Structure 1
Amino acid sequence: MAKKTIQRFLPDPNKIRHHKSLKIFGKLLQDANLWHLNRRSARGAFAVGLFFAFIPVPFQMVLAAATAILFRVNLPISATLVWLTNPLTMPPIFYGSYLVGTLVLNQPEQHFAFELNWAWFEQSIETIGPAFLVGSLVCASIASIIGYFGIDILWRRSVVKARAARK
């Protein structure tokens, strides 16, 4: 079943409740709906987590957790999925987002060389920034929608398969 597969990869709720970056939510983390795993909470959590995975902001995990609390979906899934963009996957994902942004805005690709300094960052915000941010928002929305409906379909299939097996 999808539920058993997902539960196998989820971290312990107590570890997440006591995570240093999530302590700002205090008593809000006590809501039982944030920890239940059912079709509604799983599909919503996948949508939230995948959305924030593609948004290039610091503290993605905190934003995903806040949104999970707001929509009362599974918090561990939401917070964990933002790690889809990690130091290894960030460059290709964000470059792909930039390319999507250039297509959406109908702009030519601009060649750039990454430099780790403030001047490069300021210059890049003006040149490649708009395409990158629009592309990130488009990719985040698409990933969120695919995650939402993909989990819903997988969950329904596993329920139908389990019912068939019982018969």
Structure 2
Amino acid sequence: MPKKFFNKWLPSSEKVARLKFMRIFGQRTLNPLLWYVNRRSIAKAMFIGTFWGILPVPFHSLFIILTVLWFEVNLPIGLCMAWLTNPLTVVPILYLGFWFGTKIYHVHMINTDMLLGVLHQILNWLKNFGHGHIDFSLAKILVSGLVIEAVLFAISFYLITHLLWRWSVVKAWKKRKQAQLSNHEINKSL
């Protein structure tokens, strides 16, 4: 069941290979392993896409593609997970990253004065064309927390994918077995 769903839903390798930004990877994107749909390939792609998708790095789609090419897992699923970070999710992702960071470094959660102070430092730095001091302690807290968050969510999505895939296969087996029993009983009665 999940395999049929993904095969119907995913675009063809030729269609993706024709995209402008995919041309830099050449024929590597046509590797059949990047388009193979099975539980392991999809789950690993979910892990890779979730990890890079949560980290607020520029060009995270490029990192997803490079990692997917390295591990030879499903490319479209990995790229779809890049959309985890979007205007609706960025605030909760950053907040949770700060929260994890404060737990790692045993500091209190940021407050309004701290944020205004950092904003003032950044504006002063921009106004003076890169001269000035910026306190990077908040950045250290945020980045550490985001890495922990990315790893935790990637592992969670990986495990959830395995569990849902397994559940749907078992459900399909039971349904097929029930249909076979029904057909057998109908044949007996005839």
Once residues 17 and 39 of structure 1 are traced to their aligned partners in structure 2, the CA distance between those partners, rounded to angstroms, is 23
TM-superposed CA distance for 1:68, in Å, is 0.8
TM-superposed CA distance for 1:55, in Å, is 1.0
TM-superposed CA distance for 1:20, in Å, is 2.3
Once residues 124 and 23 of structure 2 are traced to their aligned partners in structure 1, the CA distance between those partners, rounded to angstroms, is 31
> Do the aligned residues in 2 keep the contact of 1:45 with 1:68 (CA within 8 Å)?
yes
For 1:63-142, list aligned pairs within 5 A: 63-111=63-111, 112-113=115-116, 119=125, 123=134, 126-142=136-152
Query: Given the two structures, how large is their TM-score scaled by the length of structure 1?
Result: 0.88
CA deviation map 1:146-166 (0-9, x unaligned): 111110111111111111111
Once residues 7 and 104 of structure 1 are traced to their aligned partners in structure 2, the CA distance between those partners, rounded to angstroms, is 42
Once residues 18 and 123 of structure 2 are traced to their aligned partners in structure 1, the CA distance between those partners, rounded to angstroms, is 35
TM-superposed CA distance for 1:9, in Å, is 4.5
Once residues 137 and 151 of structure 1 are traced to their aligned partners in structure 2, the CA distance between those partners, rounded to angstroms, is 21
Query: Given the two structures, how large is their TM-score scaled by the length of structure 2?
Result: 0.78
- Secondary structure of the corresponding residue to residue 86 of structure 1: coil
AA in 2 matched with 1:119: W
Aligned residues: 166
RMSD: 2.3
Q: Which has the higher contact order (CA 8 A, sep 6+)?
A: 1
Identity of matched residues, %: 34
TM-superposed CA distance for 1:127, in Å, is 2.7
Q: Which runs of 5+ in 1 are unaligned?
A: none
TM-superposed CA distance for 1:91, in Å, is 2.0
> Do the aligned residues in 2 keep the contact of 1:61 with 1:80 (CA within 8 Å)?
no
